[in-house]
Amino acid sequence: MPTRSEQFAGLSVAVITPFRDGQVDFDVLQQQVEFQIEAGTVCLCPVGTTGESPTLSHQEHERVIAATVEAAAGRIKVMAGTGSNSTDEALRLTRWAAKTGADAVLVVAPYYNKPTQEGFYQHYKALAEAVEVPICVYNIPGRTGKNIEPETIIRMAELPNITMVKEATGSMDQASQILAATDLTVLSGDDSLTLPLMSIGGRGVISVVGNLIPQDMIALIRAFESGNIVEAQRWHQKLFPLCRDMLSLATNPIPIKAAMRMVGRDTGQLRMPMTPLTPAQEAKLQETLTDYGLL
């Protein structure tokens, strides 16, 4: 059964924000966009968690969205991160992304101030009524401090342009409940859960590891969609150590930035309070990348 935003099914990549000498490196950002287009990625998600949005100024946040849209030039979709724990700020960013030409927006649940379920609903309703682009509800209670309950997401699905969920609760039961009750396009927010989520009706992933090996994630998705479950499982097992390291060695995006540096595609620079991997963590990551065949 087709879901509400089938055009976003497949691989979306939560792109890093490259820094050089403390500033956003727009030349490298453009290179990352070209790399993803060549790989056949469906959509880019700039300025999310992986894009270090918490440490970007508002002006930088807007400039990264604009630069990504400009570099994409209609050749790949752009789903810009526009969430905030202030509804007014999320509204401003969401309107700005829509006006700039983003194809959709990725809106993380308001974090830290922990709204009630009614507060979550009213927050997304305000955004849905302000713009016409599709909205992806990003539910990641491990970072925000509170789960958007499935009943609330099912209620949000009554709003026409709430069309997607980035599912990062780790709960297949929660995902199953949403999939059974709505036609929302559910995308995995955890690389290692892409295949399990697709097996219950998920339509793809918003990926961190896709910064490194988009073509392999695409191969997993295609294998599953063509009914070749054994091939999909083979890709899942190959990708798993890499996916695990990206989330377990240190907080995202510390490991992916280190990996991008190791393969020569980024400086690996982070902004405080994010700090680099320890020598032991570096060695572990290097081993995983070597085993994978990337080094």
Pairing of strands 162-167, 204-207: unpaired
Residue type, 91: L
Residues 6+ apart with CB under 8 A from 216: 235, 238, 239
Annotated active-site residue in 77, 121, 124, 138: 138
Active-site residue flag, 166: yes
Annotated active-site residue in 121, 166, 257, 292: 166
CB distance 56 to 93 below 8 Å: no
Catalytic residues: 138, 166
